[in-house]
Copies of this chain bind each other. A is one copy, B any other.
Amino acid sequence: MRFKFPLMAIGLEVAMIILFGLFVQYETDQNILQPPSSSNSTDVDRFIHLYPLFQDVHVMIFVGFGFLMTFLKKYGFSSVGINLLIAALGLQWGTLVQGILHSHGQKIHIGIKNMINADFSTATVLISFGAVLGKISPLQMLIMTIIEIAVFAGNEHLVAEIFMATDIGASMTIHAFGAYFGLAVAGVLYRPGLRRGHVNEESVYHSDLFAMIGTLFLWIFWPSFNSAIAEAGNKQYRAMVNTYFSLAACVLTAYAFSSLVEHRGKLDMVHIQNATLAGGVAVGTCADMEIHPYVSMIIGSVAGMVSVLGFKFLTPVFATKLRIHDTCGVHNLHGLPGVVGGLAGIVAVTLGASDMSTPAMQAAALGSSIVTAIAGGLIAGLILKLPIWGQPSEENCYDDSVFWEVPRWREHDHHFHEHNGHHHLEPEL
C-alpha cells in the first residue's frame, strides 16, 4: 500500500510524457511562426486575445474549484491539494484525448484553444470530486480522472460533432455531465455508516471564509468560462454579457430563497457559496445566442432559486432514500442548473435564437450527457470500489490527517490528529 500512490503518479506522468512525445507538437501555423511585425495576422491576435480568457479559466480551475471545497473544517489540505493534483493530471490527459478525437490521426498542435479545452476537461472531474469529497483517496482520484476525462471527451465529441448541438458554456457537457458522473460514483461507493452524517462533515467559521475565496473567483470569471471558446466578435461578446447579468440576477434569488427556507430567515453559507454560481451554469448553453439580457436574468433567477431548493429539499432525500451522498451538493450547483441550461437551450433554439442547431439535437445532447455520465460513473464507481485503492475507512472520512502530515490546529493546541477522541487506523496512501 505504501508505494501505490507515488508509483501510480510517477507511472501516469511517464505515460503522459511518452504520449506527448508521440502525439503532441507546437502549433505550426505560419501565422504564429512569424513575428507580428511581418504580419498583423488575426491568428497571432487570436492567441494573445484569448490568453487573458484562458488565464481567467485557469484561476477558476485551480483557485475557484480548489477553495470552494475547503469549507470542511478538517479537509482543507485535501480539497485544495487533491484539486491541484487531479487538475494537473487532467489537463495533460485532456489535451491528449480531446486532441486525438479532433486530429483525425495527425499530430495534435497545441493552440490556445487546446489549453482552454484542457482546463475545461479538468472541470468535469473537479465537479465529480465534489460529490465524493472526503470519502475517497488521492489514488482513487487519479484513476477517476483518467476514466472520467476519456468518457467526457467521447460525449463532448458526440454532442459537438455528431449531434452538432450548441453548448458554448457547457451546461450539459461539463456541468450536468460532471454532476451525474459524480453522483453515480457516489452511489456505488455509498456507505450506510455515513448516512446520518459524520462528526467531521461540517464547517468552521474560517473554513467558510476560505470557501468564499473559491466562490468569488468562480463568480467573477464565469463570463470568461462561457465565452472563452465562442466565435470571435458578436457571439463571444454576447456570451460575456449574458453570463454577467445571469450571475447578477442569480445572486438576488439565491439570497432570497436561502432566507425563505432557513430557520428564522437566516442566510445559510452553503447556499451563498454555491447557489450564487448557478446562474453561470444555467446560462451556459445559450450564452452566445441572441436571447436578450433580460432572458439571461430570468435564467439566472430560476437557477438561483432551483439551486437553493435543491440544497434544502433534494440533497437530504438523495442521501437517505437514493443512498447517494453528495458532499458538496454538486447536484444543486451543477446538476440541476445544468439541466435548466440544457432545457433553456432547447427553448431558445426552438424560438430561433440560434441557427446552428435544432431542438431535437439539443435534446439529444442533454440526454446523451446525462446518460453517458451515469453509465460512465457507474463503471468508474465499480472500479474504484475494488479494495486496492486505499479508500479511507468510515471513521477517517473528511479528515486530512489520513493523507497529510497535519500541523497543530492553532498556536497552543496539541497536534490536530492527536485531538480526535478515537484512535486512527491511518491507511497509508
Contact = CB atoms under 8 A, between A and B. Distances in A.
State the main secondary structure of chain A at its contact with B: helix
B216 A62 contact: yes
Given A73-B411, A403-B266, A408-B205, A27 B251 contact: no
A209 B210 contact: yes
- Residue among A5, A255, A294 with most chain B CB within 10 A: A255
Nearest to A413: B204
Interface of A: 1-3, 5-7, 9-10, 12-13, 16-18, 20-21, 24-27, 32-37, 40, 42, 44-45, 47-49, 51-53, 55-56, 58-59, 62-63, 66-67, 70, 73-74, 76-77, 80-81, 84-85, 88-89, 91-92, 110, 115, 138, 202-210, 212-213, 216-217, 219-221, 224, 231-234, 236-238, 240-241, 244-245, 247-253, 255-257, 259-260, 262-269, 272, 276, 290, 292-294, 297-298, 301, 403-413, 416, 419, 426, 428-429
B403 A267 contact: yes
B17 A301 contact: yes
17 contacts: A13-B252, A20-B297, A33-B234, A36-B42, A51-B53, A62-B219, A73-B408, A77-B208, A85-B252, A92-B297, A203-B407, A204-B413, A205-B406, A205-B416, A206-B206, A264-B428, A266-B429
A66 B224 CA distance: 21
A204 B411 contact: yes
B36 A233 contact: yes
B216 A84 contact: yes
Contacts of A426: 264
A10 B419 contact: no
A35 B429 contact: no
A263 B412 CA distance: 24
Contacts of A45: 36
A63 B62 CA distance: 15
Contacts of A404: 266-269
Contacts of A115: 240-241, 244
Contact of A2 (B33, B34, B250, B265): B265
B35 A293 contact: no
Given A26-B237, A206-B410, 19 more contacts: A1-B265, A6-B259, A6-B265, A13-B253, A20-B294, A20-B297, A26-B292, A51-B52, A63-B213, A73-B408, A77-B269, A81-B212, A115-B241, A115-B244, A204-B408, A204-B409, A205-B406, A205-B409, A209-B210
B407 A410 contact: no
Nearest to A74: B411
Contacts of A25: 292-293
Nearest to A224: B55
Contact of A301 (B13, B40, B255, B268): B13
A32 B407 contact: no
A143 to B, nearest CB: 14
A56 B220 CA distance: 10
Contacts of A428: 264-266
Nearest to A412: B419
Contacts of A210: 206, 209
Given A55-B221, A88-B248, A245-B92, A265 B5 contact: yes
A277 to B, nearest CB: 11
A161 to B, nearest CB: 21
Contacts of A429: 259, 265-267
A380 to B, nearest CB: 20
Given A115-B244, A272-B84, A263 B405 contact: yes
Given A5-B259, A63-B216, A265-B429, A253 B410 contact: no
Contacts of A9: 252-253, 255-256, 259
A67 to B, nearest CB: 8
